[in-house]
Structure 1
Amino acid sequence: MSTTTATTPLTTQDAETLITAARRAAEAAGVTVLDAGGHLLAFRRDDRAVLISGETSTRKAYTALQLDAPTADLVDLVKPDGPFHTLPTALDKPLLFIAGGTPVHRDGRLIGSVGVGGGTPEQDHGFATAAVQELS
């Protein structure tokens, strides 16, 4: 007999924790939090962030959620000689393979994702990772 335990979904309180942690790390950024279904839970764009950071943070979060992997780990897979080089244009909603998107897990299950845009890819990855660690 197997037992199934319910995993608490990503809540708006969790989303605020992620947003606050990412914004604390990255002062001028866009930060997006998606739930497990890819629906927007929270979004913030600092007044000083470049306008495109809102779009990039959302697409990074979506990509991390769909592939259940940090976008930093996926960059080489979509290069012209990579096994998934056509994936960025294969879906109706575009994926973005730039570091800064990170999946969020609870009890070993994917419950959402966070995306950060506005800094260098390495900075955005660090900010997103710091936010997820704050939630754990």
Structure 2
Amino acid sequence: MTTATTAVAPLTSHDADTLVTAARRAAEAAGVTVSVTVLDAGGHPLAFRRDDRAVLISGETSHRKAFTALQLNAPTADLVDAVQPGGLFHTLPTALDRPLLFIAGGVPIHRDGRLVGAIGVGGGAPDQDHSFAVTALETLV
């Protein structure tokens, strides 16, 4: 018996622009300047935007948060404890060539139950960045 697989629409550049806009609006409403990165399922950048007044490092952290959420298919907020001493992923941040970042603000993006990309927000407090990313995901239909 063969099982048919249903194709899932990939994340598009239009989707990515929608996510960036929504995350930036949420941050702006909170009075926070941020950087937002959206990656496709292969980890390639689809969109990036850094607010003029956002700290420069926020561009790097937004990318690394998105990459971490994508690679582990989990919000980075849920992984913070796993990298603490004694945690399941304690050595993971230094075991790989690609830099992971276990700070809240990265969220995987699913469509029809399949991983299609990730969004990362940097520049605010970690809980704020997570909130902005989740708010942005709510705009995808």
Q: Give yes or no for the alignment of 1:63 onto 2:68.
A: yes
| Structure 1: distance between partners of 2:5 and 2:98 | 33
Please report the TM-score for the alignment, with normalisation by the length of structure 2.
0.94
Gapped regions of structure 1 (runs ≥ 5): none
Number of the residue aligned with 2:16: 15
Q: Give yes or no for the alignment of 1:25 onto 2:29.
A: no
Q: Percent identity?
A: 74
- 1:134: how far off? 1.1
Superposed, 1:1-136 pairs within 5 Å as: 1-27=2-28, 28-136=33-141
Deviation track 1:39-58 (CA, whole Å, cap 9, x = no partner) reads 01000000010000000000
Structure 1 segments of 4+ aligned residues over 2 angstroms from their partners:
none
| Structure 1: distance between partners of 2:10 and 2:95 | 29
Gapped regions of structure 2 (runs ≥ 5): none
- 1:4: how far off? 1.3
- 1:81: how far off? 1.8
What secondary structure sits across from 2:87 in the alignment?
coil
Report how many aligned residue pairs link the two structures.
136
What secondary structure sits across from 2:69 in the alignment?
helix
Please report the TM-score for the alignment, with normalisation by the length of structure 1.
0.98
